[in-house]
C-alpha cells in the first residue's frame, strides 16, 4: 500500500509561495483515496494546497483530530469547496472550548450542516488501511497536556480532558503510520492503545504534535521513555512540539527524526 503525506499547514515553512500559521493540516493519499487530517487555523490550507498540487475536491473524508480552532479553523471553507466529503470526528469536538478566557473551539459549530458529519466512538476502518482511533485511554497521567484548557458542557465550564481527541492510523502489511495532531491525552498513551490493538505491529512512521513546546524536562522524559519502547523508523515532529524539542529529539535519535514543516512531503510503502 503506497501512501503520501503532504503537510499543507504547520507552524514553520520552507519553500517559496507557501505560508505558515499556528495550526496543522495534512493531505493524506492512500492508494486511490484521499483523507484530509485537520484544516489548520484558517483558509490558508486551500492556498498552500494549490501550490503543492493537492486537489481538495478529491478528498473523501475530513478527519478532525479535536475541536480546537488551530485544527478546525478552515472547516467551513472546506465544506464550501468540497461537497462530497464527510467529516469524521467525535461528537465532543463540537463542544465550546476555551483556554483561559479565550474561546478556541470550532467556530459557528451550531450552524454547521450535521448531515456532513459522522461521529465515531469506537475504532473504525473508514477506508481500506485507514483507521480512526477515538478511544485513547490515559494510562500515564504524567503524559497529558490539559493545563489551562476548559470545555463547556451542560451550561458549565469544566476541565477539558480532551475526550474529543482521536488519532489516524495507516495500516498495511509492512507496518503502520500514526498521525496525532496534538496528543493532549499523551503520545505514549496513544502509541500504547494502537500498538495493543494491532498486536505490536511495527510503527514505520509517526507524525504529530506532542504539546511540549517550552514544557518542563519531566514531560520530555516521559515521552522519551515511552518512545524507547516503540520508536518508529521515522519520527516527524511538528506544530505544538516546538522546534526546541525537535532539536532535543534529534540529539537523541539523529536522522530518525525530521521536522514536519509546511510543504513537507513523505512517501511510504506499507
> Could you read off the pLDDT tens digit of each residue along the chain, which spans 270 residues?
999 999 999 999 998 899 999 999 999 999 999 999 999 999 999 999 999 999 999 999 999 999 999 999 999 999 999 999 999 999 999 999 999 889 999 999 999 999 999 999 999 999 999 999 999 999 999 999 999 999 999 999 999 999 999 999 999 999 999 999 999 999 999 999 999 999 988 999 999 999 999 887 888 999 999 998 889 999 999 999 999 999 999 999 999 999 999 999 999 999
149-153 vs 156-159, strand pairing mode: antiparallel
Handedness of CA 203, 206, 211, 216 (dihedral sign): positive
Q: How many CB atoms lie within 10 A of CB 87?
A: 23
CA dist., res. 184 & res. 170, Å (int): 20
Report pLDDT for 159. Answer: 97
CB 37 within 8 A of CB 182: no
Phi, psi for 188 (deg, rounded to 5): -70, -35
Query: How far are the Cα atoms of 60, 74, 197 from residue 82, in angstroms, in the given order?
Result: 9, 12, 33
Contact indicator for 106, 72 with CB cutoff of 8 Å: yes
Q: Is the pTM of this model over 0.95?
A: yes
Contact between 167 and 131 (Cβ < 8 Å): no
Whole-Å CA distances, 259 to 82, 174, 207, 247: 29, 24, 9, 9
Q: What is the arrangement of strands in the sheet containing 124-127, beginning at the earlier edge strand?
A: 124-127, 130-133, 167-172, 175-180, 203-208, 234-237, 257-259
pLDDT at 79: 98
Neighbouring CB atoms inside 10 A of 107's CB total 13
Chain centre distance of CA 82: 20
**Whole-number pLDDT of residue 200:** 82
CATH code of the domain occupying 2-269 = 3.60.15.10
Closest CA to 206 of 246, 233, 174, 171: 233
pLDDT at 6: 98
Helix axes 187-197, 217-229, angle to 10 degrees: 20
Amino acid at each position: 500500500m503506497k501512501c503520501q503525506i503532504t503537510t499543507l499547514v504547520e507552524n514553520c515553512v520552507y519553500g517559496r509561495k507557501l505560508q505558515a500559521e499556528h495550526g496543522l493540516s495534512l493531505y493524506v493519499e492512500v492508494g486511490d483515496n484521499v483523507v484530509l487530517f485537520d484544516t489548520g487555523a484558517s483558509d490558508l490550507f486551500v492556498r498552500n494546497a494549490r501550490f503543492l498540487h493537492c486537489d481538495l475536491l478529491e478528498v473523501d473524508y475530513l478527519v478532525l483530530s479535536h475541536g480546537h480552532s488551530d485544527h478546525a479553523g478552515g472547516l467551513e471553507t472546506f465544506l464550501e469547496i468540497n461537497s462530497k466529503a464527510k467529516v469524521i470526528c467525535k461528537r465532543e469536538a463540537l463542544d465550546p472550548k476555551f483556554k483561559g478566557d479565550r474561546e478556541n473551539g470550532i467556530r459557528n459549530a451550531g450552524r454547521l450542516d450535521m448531515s456532513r458529519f459522522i461521529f465515531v466512538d469506537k475504532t473504525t476502518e473508514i477506508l481500506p488501511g485507514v483507521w480512526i482511533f477515538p478511544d485513547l485511554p490515559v494510562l500515564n497521567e504524567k503524559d497529558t497536556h490539559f493545563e489551562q484548557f476548559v470545555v463547556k458542557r451542560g451550561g458549565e465550564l469544566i476541565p477539558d480532558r480532551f475526550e474529543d481527541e482521536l488519532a489516524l492510523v495507516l495500516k498495511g502489511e509492512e507496518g503502520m503510520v500514526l498521525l496525532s495532531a496534538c496528543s493532549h491525552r499523551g503520545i505514549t498513551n496513544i502509541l500504547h492503545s494502537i500498538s495493543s490493538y494491532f498486536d505490536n505491529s511495527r510503527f514505520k512512521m509517526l507524525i504529530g504534535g506532542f504539546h511540549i513546546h517550552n514544557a518542563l524536562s519531566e514531560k520530555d522524559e516521559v515521552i522519551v521513555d515511552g518512545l524507547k519502547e516503540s520508536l518508529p523508523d521515522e519520527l516527524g515532529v511538528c506544530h505544538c512540539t516546538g522546534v526546541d524539542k525537535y532539536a532535543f529529539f534529534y540529539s537523541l535519535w539523529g536522522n530518525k527524526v525530521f521536522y514536519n514543516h509546511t510543504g513537507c512531503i513523505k512517501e511510504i510503502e506499507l
